[in-house]
Amino acid sequence: MWTNKQAFRNGNRDGIPIALGYFAVAFTLGIAAKNAGFTALQAMVVSATNLASAGQYAGFTMVKEGATYLQMALMILVANARYMLMSSALSQKFSPDTPFFHRFLVGYSVTDEVFGICIAVPGKLNPMYAYGAMLLTVPGWSLGTYFGVLMGNILPANVVSALSVGLYGMFIAIIIPPSRKDKLILSLVVISMVLSFVCDIVPLISAIPSGIRIMILTVVIASVAAILFPVKDDPYAVKDKEEVHA
């Protein structure tokens, strides 16, 4: 098991590529914020307190269109619904005696990529690992938005387009290592991609907001996999219990 210092250092290391990806991708978010009338500082504060790409983009777009607070709240809730599932799954990675304030602070930083590296940590998750990643990812996302407002419209369109897809490549890099080690995970990843594509083109299903579709697919696929292929007891948790009883 890692010490707090080791966990923080490892999280810091794994957060470097995510922070760089966030900085690049947030440029496009900064452009949306500027078009909605936000200053660079305002947009940076929004990013620092939200850390939600799709939700923020939806929010900036609705501000530009003059939507009501209720409309924005409902849209952002749908766009960010997947984070509830991620947080629920990540809560199972903590040791049962992990204090609430650690769970609360780590929950603030749950994004697709940070969730990916945290859930891949062997055994129980030390909150210090998430803090180490947060130390870089939060400023990366916030500063990227800030400079996106200042410089986004200056950059060539093809550069902005390239920056916007960079994070997807990084997220694929997060899921490849566990997929190579476990054929079941690989199968589930492929099935998820195929079903996601199918749901995106089927007329009735494609009309459902993307956030809701992601939640439905996640719950269905994860439930079927859990029933058919239940995960064995965590060897780290068993070892910890034995040490406590000893």
Residue at which a domain ends, from 175, 197, 224: 175
Q: Is the pLDDT of residue 153 over 70?
A: no
| pTM (two decimals) | 0.72
| Cβ atoms within 10 Å, residue 4 | 13
- Residue 24 sits in the same domain as residue 77: yes
Tell me, rounded to whole angstroms, the distance of Cα 121 from its chain centroid.
15
Read off the pLDDT band of 168 (50, 70, 90): low
The per-residue DSSP string of 96-157 comes to TT--HHHHHHHHHT--HHHHHHHHTSSSSPPHHHHHHHHHHHHHHHHHHHHHHHHHTTTS-H
- Residue 42 sits in the same domain as residue 22: yes
pLDDT in tens, 120-141: 888 899 999 999 999 999 999 9
- Residue 151 sits in the same domain as residue 222: no
pLDDT in tens, 221-240: 888 888 888 766 554 444 44
Q: Report the C-alpha gap between 112 and 238 in whole angstroms.
A: 29
- Residue 168 sits in the same domain as residue 188: no
144: amino acid identity, one letter: G
- Residue 38 sits in the same domain as residue 124: yes
- Domain residues for the domain of 192 are 182-246
Mean pLDDT along residues 22-41? 89
Query: How many percent of the chain have pLDDT more than 90?
Result: 33
- Residue 34 sits in the same domain as residue 99: yes
Q: Report the C-alpha gap between 180 and 183 in whole angstroms.
A: 7
- Residue 190 sits in the same domain as residue 160: no
pLDDT for 239: 46
pLDDT for 14: 93
For residue 204, count CB atoms less than 10 angstroms from its CB and return exposed for 0-12, middle for 13-18, buried for 19 or more. exposed
Q: For the chain, what is the mean pLDDT?
A: 83
Residue at which a domain ends, from 159, 175, 191: 175
- Which of 63, 93, 58 shows the shortest CA–CA distance to 76? 58
In terms of average pLDDT, the best of 56-65, 134-143, 164-173, 190-199 is 134-143
- Residue 191 sits in the same domain as residue 169: no
- Residue 232 sits in the same domain as residue 114: no
pLDDT for 164: 60
Query: How many percent of the chain have pLDDT more than 70?
Result: 85
- Residue 156 sits in the same domain as residue 194: no
Residue at which a domain ends, from 141, 175, 209: 175
Lowest mean pLDDT among 15-19, 49-53, 94-98, 237-241: 237-241
Phi-psi region of 202 (alpha: psi -120 to 50; beta: other; left: phi over 0): beta
- Residue 74 sits in the same domain as residue 127: yes
As for how many domains the chain has, the answer is 2
Cα dist. 180→112, 117, 137, 155 in Å? 20, 15, 26, 38
- Residue 96 sits in the same domain as residue 143: yes
Mean pLDDT along residues 24-46? 90
